[in-house]
Amino acid sequence: MDAQKNISVTHCKKCMVKNLTIVGQQEALRRIISTLTNKNEDLQNFLETVDNTLTGLQDESWKVMSELEAELELLRSTLEEKGAELRAAIKEEQQRKEAELQNQLSEGKFALLSCEELLEFANQTLTITNEEEFLKVTKKRSKTQNQRHEVTMAPAFRLSTRLAASENMSQFTVDFSVERAELQRLHFLPVPRAPEVDASSCVARDNTITVAWRPAGEDAPDGNSGSGRVGCYEVEYRKTNRDNALRTAGEACWEKIQDIRETQVTITDLKFDSQFIVIRVRARNKTAAGEFSEPVVMETRAFNFSFDAASAHPELKVQSDTVTWEPQGVKGHDPRLKGKDPKPSHMILYWLILLMFFSAVCVIYTFLSLYSLRTETGSDSQVENL
């Protein structure tokens, strides 16, 4: 019998150990499943974030590419306008000189023709050997000159042999090497680098959060480290129930606070109805905004409660964290104003003050009782020692 009892006890112990081992393995497996489930959810949120980032990257790339093409088109149009202006100046000067030279050429041809006629007449006159006929011809020529107002010989003597314009156009010589060098230096505008949120200086308390950060490159001599002078800061925050910065579907969107001139900001009038709040900051200059800082997750500890409508007074209308009631004893009160702008009556304030007074009395009475008990205990100990 004793041997059978020992065998039974040993068998029971083995079964218990086996059951404990199975329970432990099951518990470990449950923890693994829970961890894998959380990790799976995190991966899904991460993939969704990556997909949204890719979409945003494509949109932003298209936007900046369009802006670049617009700026290049403005440069091209400006260059074309300036080129047309310079070409017009050259053509205008060319036409002016051509007109003056053409006018001088016409006058020269007319004078040359007059000279040729005069030479021909003179040569023909020299061939006359009869003196009487010679005088007759010269006399006739003199009368003809008077009738034509002496135009035969006048052009040759009035014409100036000095050119009215030269072929020199050196005043329109161009050298755009400096401008080409400026064009070669065309580059994107500098934007501020991402600031660094000082997590140790961030405080979340009483539905108010204070966020502080350090500008990037503040140790550089010029204060901006070549990343563009900071004009202001932008802070974005959103509520979440997760202790990481990944945004899940259905969570709150980012809320913005812009045009911050200091390196800290206090956000008031919040409602700590979530476990955490995510903060990120970026700097902005006159032209563009830089990258956001690494998100910082702040825990928003708060005691959230709601009123129990079932145990409330029948005349009170309870909805979550709001209590309204109908005014009593007010003559001529408009019934349409029921439940609007509720304000506590003097009676409620009286009972609240009375409740606070009795609470204080109870605390003092408890303290005195404990002190008396401690004093009596000390006296009894002294008596026993005697």
Mean pLDDT, range 11-18, rounded to an integer: 59
Q: Encode burial over 87-109: b for 16+ CB neighbours within 10 A, e otherwise.
A: eeeeeeeeeebeeeeeebeeeee
- C-alpha 254/C-alpha 367 separation (Å) is 50
Per-residue pLDDT at 9 exceeds 60? no
Angle at 353 between CA 349 and CA 358, to 5 degrees: 145
Query: How confident is residue 376, by pLDDT bands cut at 50, 70 and 90?
Result: low
Cα Rg of the chain, angstroms: 52
Closest CA to 222 of 232, 234, 230: 230
Beta bridge partners of 83: none
Burial 271-280 (b: 16+ CB within 10 A, else e): ebebebbbbb
Total-model pTM: 0.54
pLDDT tens, position by position, 122-144: 787 778 777 777 777 666 665 55
Q: What confidence score (pLDDT) does residue 167 get?
A: 86
* Residues 277-281, mean pLDDT to the nearest whole number: 91
Q: What's the pLDDT at 220?
A: 41
Give pLDDT tens digits for 208-263. 999 999 988 753 434 444 556 788 999 999 888 877 777 666 677 888 998 899 99
H helical segments located in 127-166? 131-147, 154-158
Give the tokens for residue 69: 């093409």
% of the chain exceeding 70 in pLDDT: 68
Q: Given this model, what pLDDT does residue 274 score?
A: 84
Taking alpha carbons only, the member of 230, 248, 245 closest to residue 280 is: 245
The reported pLDDT for the residue numbered 148 is 44
Report whether pLDDT(72) > 80: yes
Coil, strand or helix: which one is 180? helix
Per-residue pLDDT tens digits for 74-124: 999 999 999 999 999 999 999 999 999 999 888 888 888 877 777 787 787
